[in-house]
Structure 1
Amino acid sequence: MIFAYNPAYVGDTLLIVTDDDKGMIQEVTRKGRVARIQTEDKRTVGWNIFGISQLMALQDIGQVQLTKEQMKVLNQVIEEAGFTETLAVKQQASFVVGYVKTCEPHKDSDHLSVTEVEVDHEETLQIVCGAPNIRRGLKVVVAKPGAMMPDGSIIWPGKLRGVESFGMICSARELHLPNASEKRGILELAQGTVVGEPFSVKA
């Protein structure tokens, strides 16, 4: 689940993305300060909460993290508007340090690699990567499914040349890091970094 706030471009509205719309037609139902966004098959993919600054203080711009107390406020507002759904989210980092456990050439591509990346001690993700410097043994930055990139794009599970991919291994340029190299390639982290630790794009 993604929470985004950008008053300069969107207004005083909290945007909540709960699922990939997969390019389907969207239907919007608004009740008071709450708008629910569904696909044509009635799958809820997002919410807009208008006048959010009247309900809570949001310090960040772009993707924001909410506290448990703020989540309770949102669910109360949604209920009071007349919707029966509730928001439930595990507070997990979207960008983490990963370790490339395996790296094999994609069978249907001359530039893609299929990797297995450990993102914590209990989770390994298969990620298809096109960077020329990807290889086994690297520490990297992983954008997990549901992460919002600095340019506003969202990372969803998908397929590349028929192979499932669950996340993205990031370059410094994709992370909008200062002095990022224009040369193609993922960001290589120091070996001393800890797998599973959050990586702060803004820091």
Structure 2
Amino acid sequence: MNLFYNPEGVGDVAFLQLEPVTGPVNYDKKGNVVTLYQDDQVVGFNIFEASQAGVEGNGHIKLTEDLVNAFQQQLDKAGVNYQLSVDLSPKFVVGYVESKEKHPNADKLSILKVDVGDEQLQIVCGAPNVEAEQKVVVAKVGAVMPSGMVIKDAELRGVPSSGMVCSMKELNLPNAPKEKGIMVLDDSYSVGQPFFED
């Protein structure tokens, strides 16, 4: 679930995105809540007077347990029968590249096994500088990149990939190098720790 809020451009309306969708959506308004549907599936909510729920800032807003509870109260108050379920675990974490194999169908892609602390992810990566035994920044499924792109499970040239190993440029960090390549971390980082502190 992702939360977007632009009070200057749109007004005091929070957009809760449950599923990334393209194409037309249907909607139903009850009280301060507009439920967005596509093919009878709830894909998001527009919640008016969002500042009353404690939303602050501009752009992509980090969800907290308090915000989720406040939005749930708004849905309940409007008579919307929907239970919000949110994974609030960190989405940008330190990973350890356990192995690197050549992609069977693409010369410039590698298949990585990456330990992110609580699980091992298979990630297809095209960075020229990625190697086994590196500590890297991993954007897990559900992460929202600074560009607005949402990381999803994908298949690249026939190989499943869950997450993305990030470059400094992709993370919008200052002094990012011009050359292509992932960000390699030093040993002061622990596998599984959040990369961005709250």
CA pair 176-83 structure 1, distance change in 2 beyond 3 A: same
CA pair 70-153 structure 1, distance change in 2 beyond 3 A: same
User: Following superposition of structure 1 onto structure 2, how do residues 28-177 of structure 1 map, counting pairs within 5 Å?
Assistant: 28-40=27-39, 42-58=40-56, 60-120=57-117, 122-177=118-173
CA pair 177-27 structure 1, distance change in 2 beyond 3 A: same
Q: Which amino acid aligns with 1:153?
A: M
Q: Which amino acid aligns with 1:183?
A: E
Q: Which amino acid aligns with 2:137?
A: V
Structure 2: state its 5+ residue gaps: none
Deviation at 1:74, TM superposition (A): 0.8
Structure 1: state its 5+ residue gaps: none
Deviation at 1:24, TM superposition (A): 5.3
CA RMSD of aligned residues (A): 1.9
The secondary structure found in structure 2 opposite 1:53 is helix
- Within 1, Cα distance between the matches of 2:10 and 2:142? 20
Q: How many residues align?
A: 198
Q: Which amino acid aligns with 1:2?
A: N
Deviation at 1:65, TM superposition (A): 2.8
1:27 aligns with 2:26: yes
- Within 2, Cα distance between the matches of 1:151 and 1:12? 23
The equivalent residue for 2:7 is 7
Could you tell me the percent identity over the aligned residues? 41
- Within 2, Cα distance between the matches of 1:144 and 1:160? 16
Query: Contact 2:140–2:164 (CA<8 Å) still a contact in 1?
Result: yes
Deviation at 1:8, TM superposition (A): 3.7
Query: Contact 2:55–2:67 (CA<8 Å) still a contact in 1?
Result: no
Q: Which amino acid aligns with 1:26?
A: V
Cα deviation digits, residues 171-193 of structure 1 (max 9, x gap): 10011101111110011111221
Query: Contact 1:20–1:156 (CA<8 Å) still a contact in 2?
Result: no
- Within 1, Cα distance between the matches of 2:55 and 2:19? 25
- Within 1, Cα distance between the matches of 2:10 and 2:144? 16
Query: Contact 2:2–2:63 (CA<8 Å) still a contact in 1?
Result: no
CA pair 57-45 structure 1, distance change in 2 beyond 3 A: closer
1:180 aligns with 2:162: no
- Within 2, Cα distance between the matches of 1:33 and 1:116? 45
Q: Which amino acid aligns with 2:13?
A: T
The runs of at least 4 consecutive aligned structure 1 residues that moved more than 6 Å come to: none
Cα deviation digits, residues 58-114 of structure 1 (max 9, x gap): 2x4333333333322211111122211111223211111111111111100010111
Superposition TM-score, scaled by structure 1 size: 0.89
The secondary structure found in structure 1 opposite 2:114 is strand
